[in-house]
Amino acid sequence: MLILAHEGQKLTQGCFGLFYFKDPKTSLLHGCDAFSGRNIMHMADALISPAVGGAMWAATAGLTVYSARKLKEEMDERKIPLMGVMGALIFAAQMINFTIPGTGSSGHLGGGLLLAILLGPPAAFLTMASILTIQALFFADGGLLALGCNIFNMGFFPCFIAFPFIYKKIASSGEGAKRILAAALAASIIGLQLGAFGVVIETVFSKISELPLGTFLLVMQPIHLAIGIVEGVVTASLIGFISSTRPEVLEAAAGPARGKPFSIKPVLIALILVAAFTGGVLSWFASSNPEGLEWSIARICGNKELKSPESGVHALLSRIQEKMAFLPDYDFRKEKPEGLAKSESAQGKENAWPSMRTGTSVSGLLGGAMSLVLAGLIGFGIKIFQGRKSGRRDG
């Protein structure tokens, strides 16, 4: 061990702040860290459609009500202060990094599985939900409308799927550190894979990102396999630490939840119904053409086979079709009937594309810039008005 002392001078946080901001290498590392977990799973408002956001909000609201009721039934409301403080602990622990041997990168705790082990699924779900709410509100990590998606991906899967069906099954059949490690590894890997899959599905269904399903899955799933392994090892070592120092904490946590067998089936069915209903209604409102989804799927398949989206008539056709479906108000549609556009596009994209809605778009962009200026002017006006008012008040 190495101990470093310096003569009578106090280390300040400022010196580290300076170091941290001045060095490009550290900021790069910080960037990698941001990619390594905390941000990659948090969906943002800008990447989802209102239909997907609304559906996931409905599902999450249902789960929250269910969890709160479950807590009440089990007379577990005395857990509430413990939940809050544990949430704060996970929050703090997420900000402490550790190096992962052999890779040079750093990892941190996700916490969903650990909370489920310590508090039981319903309480852990509520705690994860509030951690994510704080992150969305204060750190802009994930949006407000995307909060439903985020709570579902990072709360539901570890707490209601990975813990009861994987961790508990493996860990309860025997004792020993190895078994706990295996259980935690399996549970956190599967929980994170499901969560990453959720992120991909929600993003693709929102149709904002151009990333096709296959490619996105190929990026997200392996990253989360790695994160899952790390999470599993850390969770297992934490559980090992607690069971060797204060085993009663684990027993107390598992106590009340063990009394009643936990059944997820009715919850799942209700969830699917709620999400499907809300999503259906919202997308019916949002899009004038409910068949849009099919086109998007056709396009994804086309992309996968053809590699590049603009080669091949099929992909092009579906692209045009999709644009037709989602841009009903643009001039393009008024000018050209659908059949004409289709036949033109078959001749080649050069003919079909250049003349399209150019005027509107350029003027639209110009208008966007103008309205930005206008908004600025309004803001400036309010500020001056306010300044005069407060000046009058002071005077």
Conformational region of residue 361, where left means phi above 0, alpha means psi within -120 to 50, and beta covers everything else:
alpha
Single out the residue of 124, 122, 134 nearest to residue 83, CA to CA: 124
Cα separation, 72 vs 126, whole angstroms: 13
Which helix (H) or strand (E) segment holds residue 367: the answer is helix 358-394
Q: Where does this chain touch another protein (CB under 8 A) — which range of 95-103, 174-182, 255-263, 273-281?
A: 95-103
The residue (of 84 and 174) whose beta carbon lies closer to another protein is 84
Which of 56, 87, 124, 190 lies at the binding interface for another protein (CB under 8 A)? 87
Single out the residue of 242, 270, 228, 265 nearest to residue 119, CA to CA: 242
Q: Where does this chain touch another protein (CB under 8 A) — which range of 84-92, 179-187, 221-229, 334-342?
A: 84-92
Tell me the site size for another protein, rule CB under 8 A.
142
Cα separation, 185 vs 202, whole angstroms: 25
Which of 33, 74, 294, 344 lies at the binding interface for another protein (CB under 8 A)? 33
Which of 23, 251, 291, 335 lies at the binding interface for another protein (CB under 8 A)? 23
Which of 237, 256, 262, 297 lies at the binding interface for another protein (CB under 8 A)? 237
Residues of this chain, 42-61, that bind another protein according to CB under 8 A: 42-50, 53-54
The residue (of 176 and 354) whose beta carbon lies closer to another protein is 354
The residue (of 186 and 239) whose beta carbon lies closer to another protein is 239
The residue (of 174 and 368) whose beta carbon lies closer to another protein is 368
Q: Is 238 in the site for another protein (CB under 8 A)?
A: yes
List the structure tokens of 319. Answer: 């692209």
The residue (of 49 and 188) whose beta carbon lies closer to another protein is 49
* Residue window 332-371: x/- pattern of binding to another protein, with contact defined by CB under 8 A: -----------------x---xx-xxx-xxxxxxxxxxxx
Q: Is 393 in the site for another protein (CB under 8 A)?
A: no
List the structure tokens of 261. Answer: 């067998």
Which of 58, 71, 166, 213 lies at the binding interface for another protein (CB under 8 A)? 71
Task: Return the DSSP state at 241.
Answer: H
Q: Is 1 in the site for another protein (CB under 8 A)?
A: yes
The residue (of 310 and 335) whose beta carbon lies closer to another protein is 310
DSSP letters along 303-360, please? HHHHSSTTSSHHHHHHHHHHHHHH-TTSHHHHHS-HHHHHHHHHH-HHHHSTTTTHHH
Task: Please state the closest distance from residue 254 (CB atom) to another protein, in A.
Answer: 14
Which of 74, 97, 264, 294 lies at the binding interface for another protein (CB under 8 A)? 97
Which of 73, 75, 99, 251 lies at the binding interface for another protein (CB under 8 A)? 99
Residues of this chain, 214-233, that bind another protein according to CB under 8 A: 233
Residues of this chain, 245-304, that bind another protein according to CB under 8 A: 245-246, 249, 286, 303
Vertex 16 angle, CA 13 and 20, to 5°: 140
Cα separation, 190 vs 38, whole angstroms: 18
Which of 39, 62, 223, 226 lies at the binding interface for another protein (CB under 8 A)? 39
Distance between first and last Cα of the chain: 65
Residues of this chain, 148-207, that bind another protein according to CB under 8 A: 203, 207
DSSP letters along 12-64, please? -HHHHHHHHHH-HHHHHHHHHHIIIIITTT---GGGS-HHHHHHHHHHHHHHH
Task: Please state the closest distance from residue 45 (CB atom) to another protein, in A.
Answer: 4
Single out the residue of 126, 152, 133, 128 nearest to residue 68, CA to CA: 126
Cα separation, 278 vs 156, whole angstroms: 18
Which of 225, 276, 340, 374 lies at the binding interface for another protein (CB under 8 A)? 374
Task: Please state the closest distance from residue 272 (CB atom) to another protein, in A.
Answer: 21
Task: Please state the closest distance from residue 234 (CB atom) to another protein, in A.
Answer: 6
Single out the residue of 62, 60, 65, 50 nearest to residue 147, CA to CA: 60
The residue (of 131 and 187) whose beta carbon lies closer to another protein is 131
